[in-house]
Structure 1
């Protein structure tokens, strides 16, 4: 597949940046502007993505489509794509549990070839280099690897089984995101008793402790609207494996207290903790 056309569904902060990285090896990178916000349009323009009027046109012109959307919308997006009879490579790169990835593959196959994907890391801007983990048919994963070769998006293939990439993504997210929720709870409790600085000092004596980075709590609050549904997905994956999901469901419930802080880049640690205590 030489210089394929790529379609991105939908260009959020991660999706737009990932799609832009593929531009070096794609003949064109398309996105569908129907029903999208002005912020999406501005972001897509900043990353040099080409707008098309509707989903049918995007799918008709695209050899590869990457789905990067909120977890709750993943299956609806896949159904819309399946309804159009898409016959290219569909990269399901959302933070969803492995069973949902397999259901999406069943929706799209055999017309399309489905590759399971999971992005670990921050959007590929300002020197960040996330890894796109892949699992699926060999020929298809090779096409995706070629698409991102030499870019800020690193790729790693985990095998041919759909679900493996999703499992790795959620396994990592289970720790990474839940640990940040625990930081908020620990610092909030310590602050209530006037020992928050002492707690940070204790944590600072250890290496790689998120407790020594409480400023990250504000960023967690701003991202809670996305992280909560992701942890619910991870909880479903734990339950399916016979493991207790309560910790992740509780973390998702905690994140829901920050729903009104969506994407608030001006949020401070104090404000985030106050919202956590008094939603």
Structure 2
């Protein structure tokens, strides 16, 4: 079977690295440079992705398109793709809730085959190996498995039902990301009373406690612009299941206090806690 041409929408830190893994088993990996930032262009060049000027060209040439973008724009992006009558495999790999996956599938299903996807783990660089969970039509999910075979991205098929992969992703994110927010609040409270180091010492005796990793608070702050919307999606999923969403919405509201430090790799623990204490 001929190697597929793959399109990535869009090459953020996760998208570019995942696309680079796909390049192992693809003829080429395309990205659309129109409207993208210089940072996106630099990432795409770093990972050896091939630029095209227009979205229409990317869609015309691609057999498989992977959508990895901020959750808020996932449906708008799918509408743009649907308008071009893309007829290949569309991997909806964003951190969105299952109901939104179904809406996106309805937009695209007259021409494309939609695969539900969810990435669990860090971008596949520096020895890290995230898992791309997928669900949907068997032929399409099998193509995704082949695309990432023998790469740092592990593709795992959950079945044929759209929404399963997104539900798993958001279930995990609900715990993992909210736990990191609770660490920031706990350390911030302890610092106010001069016992933050003592709190960390107590937590360090428990090897399974996020409280023993205070350095991660700054990383949490830098990622808040992505994590907040993801938790809102998870809260919607809880609400749809008749479960209380308030805890996740509160965590998302806390993360919103860090929106101004988007991707700030120089942020310190002290800076992050100071910003958290000043709405």
TM tier, smaller? over 0.9
Aligned length: 279
- How does the TM-score come out when normalised to structure 2? 0.99
Deviation string 1:128-150 (CA, Å, 9 cap, x unpaired) is: 00000000000000000000000
> Counterpart of 1:31?
31
Gaps of 5+ in 2: none
Task: Specify the alignment match of 2:89 in structure 1.
Answer: 89
Segments ≥4 residues shifted beyond 2 Å: none
Q: Which residue of structure 2 aligns with residue 4 of structure 1?
A: 4
How far has the Cα of 1:24 moved from its partner? Answer: 1.4
* Structure 1 position 278, deviation (Å): 1.1
Which residue does 2:58 correspond to in 1? 58
Counterparts of 2:242 and 2:119, CA distance in 1: 25
Aligned to 1:76: 76
Gaps (5+ residues) in structure 1?
none
Find the counterpart in structure 1 of residue 262 from structure 2.
262
> What is the distance in 2 between the residues matched to 1:159 and 1:203?
39
Partners of 2:252 and 2:23 lie apart in 1 by 35
Partner residue, 2:151: 151
Displacement after TM superposition at 1:199 (Å): 0.8
Instruction: Provide the rounded CA distance (Å) in 2 between the counterparts of 1:49 and 1:82.
Output: 23
Distance 1:79 1:138 in 2: 24
Q: Distance in 2 between matches of 1:277 and 1:140?
A: 48
Supply the RMSD in Å over aligned alpha carbons.
0.6
- Whether 1:211 and 2:207 are equivalent positions in the alignment is no
Tell me the distance in 2 between the aligned counterparts of 1:229 and 1:190: 28
SS at match of 1:258: helix
Q: For 1:207-234, what per-residue CA distance to the aligned partner results, in whole angstroms no more than 9, with x for missing partners?
A: 2110000100000000001100000000
- CA shift, 1:2, in A, is 2.5
What is residue 278 of structure 2 aligned with on the other side? 278
